Structure 1
Amino acid sequence: MGGSNPIRIQSMTNTATQDTEACVAQAKRIVDAGGEYVRLTAQGIKEAENLMNINASLRRDGYMVPLVADIHFNPKVADVAALYVEKVRINPGNYVDAARTFKHLDYTDEEYAQELQKIRDRFIPFLDICKANHTAIRIGVNHGSLSDRIMSRYGDTPEGMVESCMEFLRICVEQDFKDVVISIKASNTVVMVKTVRLLAAVMEQENMYFPLHLGVTEAGDGEDGRIKSALGIGALLADGLGDTIRVSLSEAPEAEIPVARKLVDYIVQRQNHPYIPGADVPEFNYLSPTRRKTTAVHNIGGENLPVVISVRLDGNMEFNPQFVPDYVYTGRSLPEQLREDTQYIVDSDIWLSEAISGADMTGIWPSFKSDQLPFISTCPSSLKFLFITYMGLNDEAIACLKLHPEIVLVSQSIHPNRLGEQRALVHQMMKEGLDNPVVFFEHYSEDETENLQIKAAADMGALIFDGLCDGLLLYNQGSIDPVLLDTTAFGILQAGRVRTSKTEYISCPGCGRTLYDLESTIARIKAATGHLKGLKIGIMGCIVNGPGEMADADYGYVGAGRGKISLYKKKECIEKNIPEEEAVEKLIELIRKNGDYTEMEVCQN
């Protein structure tokens, strides 16, 4: 891993670690699907000791995949696991520090130093065990399990997550222990991307170059899990960050591998792409970007939410009522029936000819291509769309845009690294002082929805996280239903935390600690709440990251014991140890009691 090695793909078992046969069978399925590392949880000494049997069984059957033990709360378990696996993951938030309580504790400098000494006293003997057994370690920071000590000094911030990691890394460097990989994850993609960028910068400042493991925790299942993972992981891979990844889906572990493989292959294929002569814009802050300042043109740009533009050239005006696009581009003609809740875009010559004939053009706007710049000035529309490439942003185009703030750019690219070229377009605009909004036109030729979701999310990730996105236009020349394109576009904006259009589920992928049937429970909760808009619901298998990772969720459903569930509102536990068979209904009651539940029939009408 790391260096010139390929980006490695991994997953984690969700079977009980004391069940050797089940773990071995699942590990084989992960490997057969293309997984290169397999992680297993070890809650206690017994589970850690049984890793020896799992390891031996796999080797006996010819499976040489490296195994990783996942440790929380008990450093003694890490000591044992290091004897039997190729790598041990520890969590700085609970390796020595007490479990997170969400209480603010004040530490003097002396008390803080004493706590750091406790970490050294416990961590260095573990490193000695790892050295003796040639065991690597992963320092795995999770947003949801930062210690109260870190929180008291740094707050719930990327800086706190980075410092939590660096405390342990500095000891590794001091002890000349180099077999280290780092992960620094969050379910919030914005926090995840910002934190990894910051970590890479801090490590470089301290002359450290350890490999990075990337992942979005609690990404969920289905469309949401794929889009959220591709958005966050893809944004970092595109910038050359990341040596191994895990796509955390609330599905069977082996289902994660093909998704991860597609994502890595899509990003890697742009290696050695043609040079993009991008501009250096000093006011852009890569480590802490803010939304680019633009002039609002109707409901695009300024402080408006990013818009969704759909392409319908065949007259098909069927839409999902929950995901109706803001604009529909219809090209050379208008549909016979116009929707009152939608605005339309047509080619400029059609718009001008209709306007001349005296037709009612309310809610219909013209689009231009870059070779039509001379005609833009003569067009009286208060909103105009200009389809343009980076190389089309020449002196003539720049002069035109400075005179016409009512023009919204639709950025398009056929470059092998379209993300790089579209970034370069907006940075050049910033350098020229242009405040026109930018909508990104992403086009594909896919017949499988999953492929489109992964590619579109990967292409849009950095553009959203960099604060450059005022809208998204997805176009596909394959056989995918355009309604699914609309859903994907809205899903990408929601995964990037820039526009909410549906309930968000923060659900973990499950592991040997999971205390209930996760997949069926997620399906039941989604069926009961999927019509709601704007709520965040956390569905967590256990307490390791449960209360912390879903801290910004409105409601939480957390495994509390075998067959027992605790319900949360924000960070507060409302009801403990509910029987699993009653818990989903109790969750709905809690949402309804707080006035956040709308009956499905009312919502659909």
Structure 2
Amino acid sequence: MEKFQWTRRVTSPVKVGDVTIGGNNPVVVQSMTTTSTNDTKGSAEQTRRIVEAGGEIVRLTTQGVREAENLYEIKKSLGTMGVKVPLVADVHFNPRAAFAAAERVEKVRINPGNFVDPGRTFKKIEFTDGEYAEELIKIENALVPLLDLCKEHHTALRIGVNHGSLSDRIMSRYGDTPAGMVESAMEFLRVCVRHEFNDVVISIKASNVLVMTETVRRLVAAMDAEDMHFPLHLGVTEAGDGEDGRIKSAVGIGSLLMDGIGDTIRVSLSEEPEQEIPVAKAILRHIDEVSGASGDYVMNGYIEDADPFVCSRRKSAWDGRVTQVVGLDPINDETKDGIWADLNGDWGLEYDKISARHDAVVTVTADGADWALKVKSFVNGMSARGIENPVIVAKFYDIVSFEALQITAAVDFGYVLLSGIADAIFIGAPDVTREELNRLSLNILQATRHRISKTEFISCPGCGRTLYDLQSTLKEIKAATSHLKGLKIGVMGCIVNGPGEMADADYGYVGAGPGHISLYKGKECVVKNIPASEALPRLIALIKEHGDWVEP
């Protein structure tokens, strides 16, 4: 068994203005404005609030050349406020905007799914090898002039792939899959490598945490195979708001950081952007505690023939769904059907104790910030020894604030659940009610798709493209539909983040124009461009029409 000590993935540093992403530098926290980029005063003021909250990089939507040009005015306005922060232009569907922005800001984000390709049109669904090769040449011819311009102005580039926004060409070979997302990024990265452009940061995101974490891990493996060391931007898209958004983000981002993957992070919440920063900071504080406490662990999985990138349950005598445990009592150590495995002692003795009682449920616990690493290592050791006892993973926190607990526990338990080693979980904390702990446990189980206990809302954080009051609308939709257990509803600000990135949703509510909404059933737009005042009743009617409505 291979020994593992917590380390961070080695990446090449990329300068974004005065901030460096990757290398030995701390993980950078960033956010994105929700204002129109043509609103100089509003954008500058919101950027100032993000920076005051601790944001180190700020991104702004850049639909066209006009918005790109106004980025310079926003920078000047920030200068008069005494605010110095690197700005990133977020570009979709408009290469001309990317070129204009590259001369004015420190980083430009482009989406491989729509930089050259027109996006998901489904007009051509089959490509011969020759046609596919010709498309790759088109990408190179379009991208190299942008790389040259970025070199000239010392502008960094973010290659940002999103689940659901892949081109027809990628879809024809890979479908809307993690493998397709990885290949979409790698096509652009190979062009950068050939032309010796190294100031690149990569993001590869999804609203489904399992898809997001699997895809990032596959991308790291693909880059390693081609000796690439570009830094990674992590985030869960359309995470939502409130507890749901915080827990979902902490599970996805935190699980990757626990394995040393990630150089900059953005928590996407359907709230004011400065509210994202404390959540990101809390995730990073816990990761710092984990890295400072970690020792040597055996981290290998032992599920033969399993895909190493996919969350697969460890083989155990427990054949039910992963669940939460309401109460645990360590005093009942050796009684009835249970065994307590205390990882603070001799692990060999614990394995011997468990091996002698194959019918017992094993509760695994440990002290220290690196609890999750110890638990994963120990349970992997059980599997290596052929021990198939069901496992409850338990952690007793000394955190008294529920707000702090939900981030820390989401990182810890998200990591062990996505590692497939738990049959049940238990979270304990003083001064936190059992109702709160139970809700937290269920939210973590839902974020990891181990147990669905309520409606899931996939909602974007909003940006300058948003075409209605997203925050208040999301609250109204939640109030009307939060009793629909198991249903996934997408609430998206515009068509860029809409049909594709909410591809996992059962129903969708998408901004179609100022004051107008389109409704989706799955990936199909079924109600087009109706007034926003009519949209919620029509959404409810659509859910009823398809037999998914139950009375509250």
Category of TM-score, reference length = shorter chain = over 0.9
2:4 is matched with: none
Distance in 1 (CA, whole Å) between partners of 2:270 and 2:243 is 11
Change (3 A) 1:262 1:281: closer
How far the C-alpha of 1:387 sits from its partner, in A, is: 2.0
Offset of 1:528 from its aligned partner?
A: 0.5
Note the C-alpha offset of 1:423: 0.6
**TM superposition outliers: structure 1 runs of 4+ over 6 Å:** none
User: Does 2:100 match 1:147?
Assistant: no
Q: Deviations over 1:570-601 (max 9, x none)?
A: 1111100110111111111111121111111x
Question: Which of 519, 522, 535 is residue 567 of structure 1 equivalent to?
Answer: 519
1:286 positional shift: 3.5
Superposition deviation, residue 289 in structure 1: 4.2
Q: Secondary structure at the match of 1:269?
A: helix
- Farther off after superposition, 211-220 or 416-425: 416-425
**Does 1:458 pair with 2:411?**
yes
Deviation at 1:154, TM superposition (A): 1.0
The 3 A distance-change label for structure 1 pair 102 and 455 is: farther
The separation in 2 between residues aligned to 1:159 and 1:398, in whole angstroms, is: 38
Residue 532 of structure 1 pairs with residue 484 of structure 2: yes
Q: How does 1:172-571 map to 2 (within 5 A)?
A: 172-278=192-298, 280-281=300-301, 283=303, 286-296=308-318, 302=319, 304-311=320-327, 329=328, 331=329, 348=332, 368=333, 372=334, 379=336, 384-390=337-343, 392=345, 394-477=347-430, 479-571=431-523
Q: Secondary structure at the match of 2:526?
A: strand
| Larger deviation, residues 409-418 vs 234-243 | 409-418
Offset from partner CA, 1:8-50 (integer Å, 9 cap, x none): 0000000011010100000000001000000000111111111
Is contact 1:141-1:185 (8 Å) kept? yes
Amino acid at match of 2:501: E
Hey, what's the Cα distance between the residues in 1 that align with 2:32 and 2:348?
Answer: 53
Asked if residue 131 in structure 1 is aligned to residue 84 in structure 2, the reply is no
Aligned-pair identity in percent equals 54
Alpha-carbon separation, structure 2, partners of 1:400 and 1:27: 57
Whether the aligned pair in 2 keeps the contact of 1:310 and 1:475 (CA below 8 Å) is: no
Q: Contact (CA 8 Å) 2:317, 2:390: kept in 1 or not?
A: yes
Distance in 1 separating the partners of 2:300 and 2:83? 49
Please say which of residues 244-253 and 481-490 is displaced more in the overlay.
Answer: 481-490
Offset at 1:177?
A: 0.7
Tell me the residue number matched to 2:529: 577
Q: Equivalents in 1 of 2:369, 2:459: separation in Å?
A: 34
Q: Which amino acid aligns with 2:312?
A: T
- The one-character-per-residue Cα deviations of 1:424-465 (angstroms, maximum 9, x if unpaired) are 111110111011111111222233222111000100122111
Counterpart check, 1:29 vs 2:49: yes
1:505-560 deviation digits (Å, cap 9, x = unpaired): 00000000000000000000000011121000000111113111221211000001
The match for 2:58 is 38
Residue 290 of structure 1, CA deviation: 1.7
* CA deviation profile, 1:32-90 (whole Å, cap 9, x unmatched): 10000000001111111111101111123221100000000011110001111100000
Distance 2:245 2:49 in 1: 20
Distance across 1 between alignment mates of 2:402 and 2:538: 35
Rounded to whole Å, the distance in 2 between the matches of 1:117 and 1:264 is 40
Give the distance between the partners of 2:84 and 2:280, measured in 1 at CA: 21
Secondary structure at 2:407 match in 1:
helix
Residue correspondences, number: 530
- Report the CA distance between 1:484 and its aligned residue: 1.0
**Cross-structure match for 1:64:** 84
The whole-number CA distance in structure 2 between the counterparts of 1:103 and 1:488 is: 45
- Whether contact under 8 Å (1:537, 1:554) holds in the other structure is yes
C-alpha distance in 1, partners of 2:484/2:399?
Answer: 30
The 8 Å contact of residues 240 and 270 in structure 2, kept in 1 or not, is answered as: yes
Instruction: Output the amino acid matched with 1:216.
Output: V
Residues 80/487 of structure 1: CA separation in 2 closer, same or farther (3 Å cut): same
TM-score computed with the length of structure 2 as normaliser: 0.93
Q: In 2, Cα distance between the equivalents of 1:499 and 1:562?
A: 38
Hey, what's the Cα distance between the residues in 1 that align with 2:232 and 2:213? Answer: 12
Q: CA deviation at 1:134?
A: 0.8
1:271: Cα distance to partner? 2.1
Give the 3-state SS of the residue equivalent to 2:538 in structure 1. Answer: helix
- For 1:505, the aligned partner's letter is F
Paired with 1:144 and 1:32, the residues of 2 have a C-alpha distance of: 34
The answer to whether the Cα contact below 8 Å between 1:393 and 1:425 also exists between their aligned partners in 2 is no
Q: Does 1:15 align with 2:35?
A: yes
Tell me how far apart the structure 2 counterparts of residues 113 and 79 of structure 1 sit (CA, whole Å): 25
| 8 A contact 1:142–1:545 mirrored in 2 | no
Aligned to 1:355: none
Corresponding letter in the other structure for 2:477 = I
Alignment match, 2:14: none
Q: Rate the CA distance shift 1:415–1:517 in 2: closer, same or farther, 3 A.
A: same
Paired with 2:71 and 2:379, the residues of 1 have a C-alpha distance of 51
Distance 1:99 1:76 in 2: 16
CA contact (8 A) 2:300 2:377 kept: no
* Inter-CA distance 164–388: structure 2 relative to 1 (3 Å threshold): same
Unaligned runs of 5+ in 2: 1-20
Residue 530 of structure 2 aligns to a residue in which SS? Answer: strand
8 A contact 1:536–1:553 mirrored in 2: yes
Give CA-to-partner distance per residue, 1:390-418, whole Å, 9 cap, x none.
Answer: 35574554344334332111111103311
Following the alignment from structure 2 to structure 1, what is the Cα–Cα distance between the partners of residues 382 and 181? 34
Cα RMSD (Å) of the superposition? 1.6
The 1:30/1:410 distance shift into structure 2, 3 A limit, reads same
User: Unaligned regions of 5+ residues in structure 1, if any?
Assistant: 297-301, 312-328, 332-345, 349-367, 601-605
- Matched residues in 1 for 2:450 and 2:254: separation? 17
What letter corresponds to residue 435 of structure 1 in structure 2? E
State the structure with more CA Rg. 1
The letter of the residue matching 1:507 is: S
**Following TM superposition, by how much is the alpha carbon of 1:227 offset from its aligned partner in structure 2, in angstroms?**
0.2
Q: Following the alignment from structure 1 to structure 2, what is the Cα–Cα distance between the partners of residues 515 and 577? A: 12
8 Å CA contact 1:235, 1:462 repeated in 2: yes
For 1:595, the equivalent position in structure 2 comes to 547
Matched residues in 1 for 2:223 and 2:38: separation? 38
- Write the deviation string for residues 146-174 of structure 1: whole angstroms up to 9, x where unpaired: 11111111112111111100101111111
SS state at 1:112 partner: helix
